[in-house]
Amino acid sequence: MLSPIIYAIPIIAILAGCLAIPSPASQPEPTPTPMPTPTPIIIVATPTPLPAEVMAAADVEEQLIINVYQRVSPAVVHITSRAIALDFFWGPIPQEGTGSGFIIDKEGHIVTNYHVVEGAESIEVTLADGTTAPAELVGADPYNDLAVIKIEVPPHKLHPVELGSSSDLRVGQRAIAIGNPFGLDRTLTVGVISSLGRIIEREGERALGELIQTDAAINPGNSGGPLLDSQGRVIGVNTAIKSPIGASVGIGFAVPVDTVKRVVPELIAKGRYAHPWLGLWAYSITPALTEGLNLPVDKGLLVAQLYPDGPADRAGLRGGKRRVRVGNYIVVAGGDIITAINGTEVKSMEELTVYLETKTKVGQVVELTVLRDGQRMTIEVELGERPERW
């Protein structure tokens, strides 16, 4: 009976020893010696200077632009037009608009856009030296958005520009604009000619044609200012922008200077410009029209209506004779088909009108290439003057 007890004691002692094994005395850890913070090494590369010939070319470019600005900016004027608008509740309300223009002679004639001075009760011009003077409207051509105003100031204050040519312009050449965007006097912007011969539609008005497109920044207030070439000669009149935000997005348009040289002398002499006119209205031929009317061509102009005793009527052209449904439209069919004017192909009334405006004048005889009953013929027409309402 003693054996179990004898064996049990050592076991309990061992178990107790297992539970009560003292931890070894903890020793303090040594404190590490602080290391110095490393200083970052920054390597700065010294750029290699540009070759002297590259810098010289850049300096020449800068000097060219500076020279053009210094020579031409004194010819650019700030135009303020004031008009009276009638409000149903408040009665007459003064309105003010601003734009640009440029001096063309020592007599004080200034070219600008028609829309800058349209409906103005009074016009004021501010010159580069700060001189202000009232201006009178000499003449206007709404169709080409051109107007001429005149100021009376001492001749030494007038610095006319040189008019260049727009017939030999090339896409990619430099375009320099000077004007008063948002009222900021004589602001210069530089770009290139982006395209030529653009036609843009105007709400409620005839299209503007043969325009110069440029990416030189044009904004509200630039209208009427000059577009220049590298020699400082006027190549166009800044007139419009295409933008979803009402400010420049790099698509601006200018009336070509050849149009200015054709129209402005008439405005100064007569106060108006006589627009050449055929006296007809026609459809642009489309594939649907060709198929629906069984036409012998797929492009050109189908004459629908002639102005009674107008130039085309007197020359013997034929208008439409019958009404025919083509798809969802009723068209007047049976008239002559015009395919070209003076050998230049035309496919729309806009193209025909632009050709007349830019290449002809009242009293000139033009040749129309016409298809009649499948036969090709040439008809000569002496151009008349377009009536005010046509």
The Cα 348–Cα 301 span in angstroms is 6
Low-confidence ranges of the chain (pLDDT < 70): 1-46, 50, 54-58, 85-94, 203-205, 241-250, 389-390
> Given this model, what pLDDT does residue 1 score?
38
> Given this model, what pLDDT does residue 16 score?
36
Site of tokens 């209506």:
305
Closest CA to 138 of 125, 128, 151: 151
pLDDT in tens, 112-168: 999 999 989 999 999 999 999 999 999 999 989 999 999 999 999 999 999 999 999
- For 263, the 3-state DSSP assignment is helix
**DSSP state at residue 28:** P
> Given this model, what pLDDT does residue 30 score?
58
> Given this model, what pLDDT does residue 220 score?
86
Q: Which strand (E) or helix (H) includes residue 20?
A: none
Provide CB contacts within 8 A for 142, sequence distance 6+. 114, 118, 205
> Given this model, what pLDDT does residue 89 score?
60
Residue type for position 299: K
Residue 360 and residue 341 in contact, taking contact as beta carbons nearer than 8 Å: no
> Given this model, what pLDDT does residue 256 score?
96
* pTM tops 0.85, yes or no: no
Looking at the DSSP assignment, which residues form a beta bridge with residue 255? 237
The Cα 214–Cα 241 span in angstroms is 10
Q: Which residues are catalytic?
A: 115, 145, 223
CA Rg value for the chain: 39
DSSP string of 288-325?
HHHHHHT-S-SSSEEEEEE-TTSHHHHHT-----EEEE
Query: Rounded to 5 degrees, what are φ and ψ at 270?
Result: -120, -10
**DSSP state at residue 171:** T
Domains detected in the chain:
72-86+94-157 (2.40.10.10), 174-270 (2.40.10.10), 276-385 (2.30.42.10)
The Cα 207–Cα 347 span in angstroms is 15
The Cα 149–Cα 137 span in angstroms is 4
Residue 107 and residue 150 in contact, taking contact as beta carbons nearer than 8 Å: yes
**DSSP state at residue 47:** P
